[in-house]
Structure 1
Amino acid sequence: MPPVPPASHTPADRTPAPRFPDTASLRARATAALRRCGADLDAAAATGPDGADTVLARTPLTGGTLARLPAATAEQADAAIDDAHRAFHHWRTVPAPRRGALVKRLGELLTAHKDDLADLVTIEAGKIRSEALGEVQEMIDICDFAVGLSRQLYGRTIAGERPGHRLAETWHPLGVVGVISAFNFPVAVWSWNTAIALVCGDTVVWKPSELTPLTALACDALLARAAAADAPPGVHRLLLGARACGERLVDDPRVALVSATGSVRMGREVAPRVAARFGRCLLELGGNNAAVVTPSADLDLAVRGIVFSAAGTAGQRCTTLRRLIVHEDIADRLTERMVHAYGQLPLGDPFDAATLVGPLITTAAHTAMAEALATAQRDGGKLLTGGDRCFAAEAPDAAYVRPAIVRMPEQTEIVRTETFAPVLYVLTYRTLDEAVALHNDVPQGLSSSIFTQDQREAERFLAADGSDCGIANVNIGTSGAEIGGAFGGEKETGGGRESGSDAWRAYMRRATNTVNYSADLPLAQGVNFL
C-alpha cells in the first residue's frame, strides 16, 4: 500500500516539530501518578520474559514501552469471578443507600486524583489534556448520578383486577457484572458500568483493554480504597490480559451480565456465546456517525461542532463524526471552511496545552487510515486535506497524523465502513428525505446530528422515520454526550444502553409480585378451580 501523499492544502512541513517527552520521563510520570492513587507499578511489574503471560503498557506519545505486567492466568480469572460471586451474596443484601455511600467515596477519591488519572489517560491513550481531564470529570459525574440513583431504584404498584390483592413490580440485584472496555475511553466506560452496578447491588470483574493497563491499575486502587471501610472483599476484581481473560468472563455462567465495548467483530463473538448460556449482554460496538447540514444552518456553529466531532480524540471516539451529508447548495462553501479550520488544528504532544490533536493509538491505526484513504480515492473521492503522517523523525514509533477530509461522489463501501481514525467523508444531497436515507444507509446506528435553523427539518430528523441512531442531536455534533442520558445505539452498534436515564435496569432483575391480603382466592381471568 503506497503512502497517501499530503494534500495540496496541507504541506507536510508547515508545522515545526514540537518537543516530545521521552519514554523514560513518561514512565516516571505514570509511576508517580499510580503511586499517589495507591498502586505500586514496580511491585506489579512482571519479572519473566515477554510472552502471552505479559501485558505491555506502552505510550502512543512515543510508541515506547512503559512497563511489563503479568497477565492473569485462566486460574486467576476463575478465582476473580469466584471472589466476585461470593461477595455478591452479601453485597446484594446491603441497603442501596449504603451501597451508594461506597460510590460517593469513590467519587471523592476521583476528584482528589483527577490530575493523576488524567495524566495516565494522556500517557496511555494519547488524549489531549482537556479531553483527559474531561474523561475523569465524566467519572465523577457518573458517581454523583449513581449516588442519587441509590435512593431511586423505584418499582411500581400496578392496578390489578382482583379485590383484596396488590400487584407490584420490584427490582433486585442481578449478580456479577463482567466489564470489557476499550482503549479510547479507558476509565469513563468502566465508571459508567461500575458505579451503576455497585449501587444496584452487583459486583464487578473488569477486563480493560490490554492497551491501557496502567489506568486500570489506578482505578482499581482507588476503588479498593473506597471499599475498604465496609464493602466485602471481591466487590471488584481486575483482570489484566488479552482475549483469554475476556473469554472467561463471556463463558462463565456466574457472570450474569457481560458489558462489552469494542468492535463489531468482537460483538459477533461475544453475543452468541453469552446467549448460549442464557446470560445477558450489553454491547457498545461500532459507530459510523453522520451529520446533516441543511441550507438554513448556522455555518459558524456547524463548523465548530463538526471539527470537534470529527478531529477530537484524533478521530478515535465511537461517536466520532465520520460522514458529513451537506446540501449541494452550500457544500463548496462549507468544505472550504472546513479545510481552513483543519489547517489551524495544532498537532503534537498532548500534554502541551496548545495541542488539539494527539497521536493515534498505534502505527497500525495509521496504516488502516492510509488504506481507507487510498480506497476512497480509487472510488472517485478527492482528498481535500490531511492524511499525512507527521513527526516521524522525532517519534518514529508513534503515529501523529493530520485529520483528513475526503469529498466523495457517493456513499461507497469504504464510507459505510468504520475506520477508527480522523477521516471525514463529505457527501451531498438535494432533498432532506435523500439526506435521511443516506444517513441511515450504514450498518451502524450510534450517534447522529443535524445542523438547521428550520424546526420542520429538525423534527423530521428526530421523527420515527428520521435518524435510526440511539443518539440524535440538533445543532451540536455527534460526540460529547452527557452522562444523564442513556448512551448506546442500534443495529451493529449492539443495542446496549449505559450511563444515565433508566440504563440501570440492565444491571438488575425484575420481579412481579402479587400479594393477596384477603380471605378469598379469586383467580385471574375469571378462572374457576376448586
Structure 2
Amino acid sequence: MESSTVAREAIDLLNKLGAAPPFAAQGSLVARSPIDGLTVGHLPEASADDVRRTIEQAHAAYLIWRSVPAPRRGELVRLLGEELRRSKEDLGRLVTIETGKILSEGLGEVQEMIDICDFAVGLSRQLYGLTIATERPGHRMMETWHPAGVCGIVTAFNFPVAVWCWNAALALVCGDAVVWKPSEKTPLTAYAVQAVMERALARFAAAPLGLAGLVQGGRAVGEVLVDHPKVAVVSATGSTRMGRDVGPRVAARFGRCILELGGNNAAIVTPSANQDLALRSIAFSAMGTAGQRCTSLRRLFVHESIADGFIAKLRNVYASVSIGDPSQPSTLIGPLIDAAAYEAMEKSLTEAQALGGKVHGGGRVDRALPSAYYVTPALVEMPGQQGPVLRETFAPILYVIRYRDLTDVIAMHNGVPQGLASSIFTTDIQEAETFMSSAGSDCGIVNVNIGPSGAEIGGAFGGEKETGGGRESGSDAWKGYMRRTTNTINYSRDLPLAQGVKFDVG
C-alpha cells in the first residue's frame, strides 16, 4: 500500500462497518497505522465526566439486565456473533491496518470473537451452582451465582478486538454491563466493534440503554474506570507495570480484578524432539505478530547435544521469512506498532551484546517509510539467562540458551518473574509429563509439541506470578464475572445448629 492508500482504506472500512469515527481537527487522540506510520485522523478523548456518565448509565442498565434470564441474555451474544460473521472480512482488514499484524492474523482475531460468542451462548444455560452436603437434618445447602455488576474492560493494542469479546461475551451472559477502554493506539477498531455491537443490540430490542459502553482515551480515562465504585470487576490486559497500578487501586476499594499482564515465555527443545515440528512451532511463536503477543516465544532452551545443528536450521528459517506490507498474502512479518517498540528492541539487543550475546538479525528495514518500523527478527545466542532475557521486550527477539539437564532447565525456565505460557518439544513421555507436573512449568499455559503462542477459547487463558493470575475464556472463567452466595434452606420444624452448638431459649 502507498501511504495515502492506508488512511483512505481505513476510512472506507469504517464507513462500511457503520462506524464513521468523530474525527476532529483538534482531537487529542491520534489514530495511526503502523503500516506507514502516518496519521489517519485525530479523535476526541473522553473527559472524566464522560467516563463517569458512561459508568452510571451502565450501572442503570445492569440493574435491569441482571433480571433477564441467562439464556435470554445469551440470545444477545448470539446476535453479536452473527453480526461479527457478517463483518469479519472488513473488521479483520481494519485490525491489520491499525495493528500491522498480517491479514490472516487480523481475520483470525475476528474469528476468535465469533468463537467466544458461540461458547458464551452455550454457557448461558450452564451457569451452575452446587448442592452441598449439610450436617443438619431437614436442611439443604447450595450455592447460587449472581451477576457482579459493571465490568470495566481495558484492552491492549496487540489484540484490539478479541480481548474485548473474551470479556464482554462472558460478562453479558453472566448479567453484567460492560464499559470498554481500548488502547489509545487502536481507537479505530474499537469504534468499529462498538458499531457491530450496536447492531446486535438493536436487533435484540429489549437491551437496556448503556449496556455496552465505550470510552476512548489514555491513562486518565482508564484511571476513572479503575477507581469508580460502581465498576465491580476490572479486567485489564497490558503490561506488568500497568497491572501494578491497576491492582492496588481496585483492591483499595475492594473491587475485583482480572489481570492479564506480561509474559516471558519459553520453550525447551530436547534431544528426542521432532526438530521439523519444533522449527515450525518456534517460527510462528517467536515471529508471529512481529513478536508483539503476550504469548510470544522469547526464550528458547536447546539441549547441548543438538544445539549447533538446530540453531543453524533456525537461523535459516529466520532468514527465509518475508517482511513487509501485512496486507499482502506472502508477508509473514509486519511492522512494529511504533517508534517506542523499535527503541525498546534496540536497547535490549545492545544490552544482550554487552553481556556476550551473539545477535543474528534485528536491524530495521524499509527506510522508504521513515515513520514505520519494520525490523528483521532477532535470534540471540546467550551464554546464560541474564539482563534483557529476564524481562519482556515486545518485539521479535528470541534468546537461545544451551542446557544439559532437564531438572536444571526447568528451574531456569521458571526463573523469571512472569508465568504465562510455556512449551516443551519431546517424544519422551517422562519429559513431557514432568514438564506438565507440579515440579514442571510454573506457567498458566503448559504445552507439549506446540509453541506457547496461539490459544483457543475453550481453555482458560492466563498466567501466574507477574502475569497477574487472572483467567479469561474457557473452563470456569465465567465465575470471575459473577458473585457467589451460599444458601441454606430449613424445610424441617427443628432448628439444629451447626457444629452441635446449643442455644435454647424460652
The C-alpha deviation readout for 1:2-28, integer Å capped at 9, x for no partner, is xxxxxxxxxxxxxxxxxxx13332222
Q: 1:23 to 1:232 in 2, by over 3 A?
A: farther
Q: How does 1:399-414 map to 2 (within 5 A)?
A: 399-414=373-388
The match for 1:249 is 225
Q: What TM-score comes out, normalization by structure 2 length?
A: 0.98
The match for 1:124 is 98
The match for 1:58 is 32
The match for 2:7 is 27
Determine the C-alpha separation between the residues in 1 that align with 2:107 and 2:501: 62
Q: How does 1:400-479 map to 2 (within 5 A)?
A: 400-479=374-453
The match for 2:192 is 218
CA contact (8 A) 1:23 1:66 kept: no
Q: What displacement does 1:34 show?
A: 1.6
**Structure 2 residue identity aligned to 1:34:** L
Q: What displacement does 1:225 show?
A: 1.0
Q: What displacement does 1:367 show?
A: 1.1
Between 1:26-35 and 1:468-477, the stretch displaced more is 26-35
Determine the C-alpha separation between the residues in 1 that align with 2:69 and 2:88: 29
SS in 2 for 1:486: coil
The match for 2:348 is 372
- What stretches of structure 1 move > 4 A for 4+ residues in a row? none
The match for 2:24 is 46
Q: What displacement does 1:165 show?
A: 0.7
SS in 2 for 1:487: coil
Determine the C-alpha separation between the residues in 2 that align with 1:439 and 1:348: 33
Q: What displacement does 1:67 show?
A: 1.2
CA contact (8 A) 2:6 2:36 kept: no
**Structure 2 residue identity aligned to 1:129:** L
CA contact (8 A) 2:48 2:224 kept: yes
> Would you say 1:333 and 2:309 are equivalent positions?
yes
**Structure 1 residue identity aligned to 2:178:** V
Determine the C-alpha separation between the residues in 1 that align with 2:425 and 2:152: 38
Q: How does 1:64-83 map to 2 (within 5 A)?
A: 64-83=38-57
CA contact (8 A) 2:80 2:196 kept: yes
CA contact (8 A) 2:362 2:378 kept: yes
The match for 1:271 is 247
Pick from 304, 309, 314 the counterpart of residue 285 of structure 2.
309
Q: How does 1:157-236 map to 2 (within 5 A)?
A: 157-228=131-202, 229-236=205-212
The match for 1:135 is 109
The match for 1:513 is 487
The match for 1:389 is 364
CA contact (8 A) 1:77 1:239 kept: yes
The C-alpha deviation readout for 1:436-461, integer Å capped at 9, x for no partner, is 01100000000000000000000010
Q: What displacement does 1:153 show?
A: 0.3
Determine the C-alpha separation between the residues in 2 that align with 1:35 and 1:173: 35
Segments of structure 1 that go 5 or more residues without pairing to the other structure are: 1-20
Q: What displacement does 1:32 show?
A: 2.0
Segments of structure 2 that go 5 or more residues without pairing to the other structure are: none
RMSD (CA atoms): 0.8
CA contact (8 A) 1:205 1:237 kept: yes
**Structure 2 residue identity aligned to 1:377:** Q
Determine the C-alpha separation between the residues in 2 that align with 1:240 and 1:492: 27
Determine the C-alpha separation between the residues in 2 that align with 1:67 and 1:193: 28
Q: What displacement does 1:36 show?
A: 2.2
Q: What displacement does 1:98 show?
A: 0.7
SS in 1 for 2:388: coil
The match for 1:4 is none
CA contact (8 A) 1:23 1:65 kept: no
% identical equivalent positions: 63
Q: What displacement does 1:520 show?
A: 1.0
Determine the C-alpha separation between the residues in 1 that align with 2:206 and 2:251: 35
Between 1:396-405 and 1:224-233, the stretch displaced more is 224-233
Q: What TM-score comes out, normalization by structure 1 length?
A: 0.94
> Would you say 1:359 and 2:339 are equivalent positions?
no
Determine the C-alpha separation between the residues in 2 that align with 1:316 and 1:56: 21
**Structure 2 residue identity aligned to 1:45:** F
The match for 1:12 is none
The C-alpha deviation readout for 1:265-290, integer Å capped at 9, x for no partner, is 11111111100000001100000000
The match for 1:18 is none
CA contact (8 A) 2:237 2:260 kept: yes
> Would you say 1:491 and 2:469 are equivalent positions?
no
Determine the C-alpha separation between the residues in 1 that align with 2:317 and 2:362: 15
